[in-house]
Structure 1
Amino acid sequence: MTTVELTRFRVLPEKTEELLAARADMVKDFEADRAGFLGARLVRLPDNEWLDIVDWATPENFAASREKGANLPGIARFFAAIDALVIAEEGVSEA
C-alpha cells in the first residue's frame, strides 16, 4: 500500500504555460528533497482545474513533505502558478 495525495486546484488560463513549464523542476526538487516520494501525475480537468496525484511510500513521508512546503525554487514556481486550491485529500492505494 502507498499513500496517495490528491490535490485539485485552479489555474488562470494565462498561467497554464507557466505551470507546465515549472512541472519538471518541481518533480526534480521532490525527487531530491522529499523522502518517500514515488511519483506524480498531473491531470487537466475542465474549467481551468487540475488534479495532481502524488504517490508517497508512507503517510509520514507525505506529512513531512507538507511541512516543507515550497522550500525549493522548482516547487515554489509550480505553486506560484496556482490560482486557488479546490480540495486536498489523502488516501491509500490498495493496488
Structure 2
Amino acid sequence: MELTRFRVLPEKAGELLAARPAMIADFEADREGFLGARLVRLANDEWLDIVEWRSSEDYAASRVKGANLPGIKAFFDAIDSLVSAEEGVVEP
C-alpha cells in the first residue's frame, strides 16, 4: 500500500481532479501490479492518495517510471508540494 500526502494550491484543485481519470488509466495500462487507488481531500489544501499494489516490488518499479505518461504527468503537475510518502502492508 502506498500512502502519499501532498499539497495542491486551491486554484489547481480542479486541474488535479480533471487529470485523475487519465492518471488512473495510465497506471492501469503501464504499471504492473497496480490494483487501484483512492484520493482523499484533507484540510489545509492537503490530499492523500492511497494506492494499492500487488507487491512492494511493483510499487518500487512504478516509482522508477515516475511521470512517464501524459495522464500521470498532468496529475503530478497539479501538485504543489509533497508532504510525505510511505509504504505499508495491509494485514488480513
Q: TM (normalized to structure 2)?
A: 0.99
Map of 1:39 onto structure 2: 36
Once residues 7 and 36 of structure 2 are traced to their aligned partners in structure 1, the CA distance between those partners, rounded to angstroms, is: 21
| Alignment coverage as a number of residue pairs | 92
Structure 2: stretches of 5+ with no match in the other structure = none
Residue 54 of structure 1: CA displacement? 0.1
Structure 1: stretches of 5+ with no match in the other structure = none
SS in 1 for 2:68: coil
- Equivalent residue letter for 2:57: E
Deviations along 1:34-60, one digit per CA (max 9) or x if unpaired, are 000000000000000000000000000
- Equivalent residue letter for 1:29: D
Larger strand share, 1 or 2: 1
Map of 1:59 onto structure 2: 56
Q: TM (normalized to structure 1)?
A: 0.96
Deviations along 1:7-55, one digit per CA (max 9) or x if unpaired, are 0000000000000000000000000000000000000000000000000
Query: Identity, % of aligned pairs?
Result: 73
Map of 1:85 onto structure 2: 82
Once residues 28 and 51 of structure 1 are traced to their aligned partners in structure 2, the CA distance between those partners, rounded to angstroms, is: 19
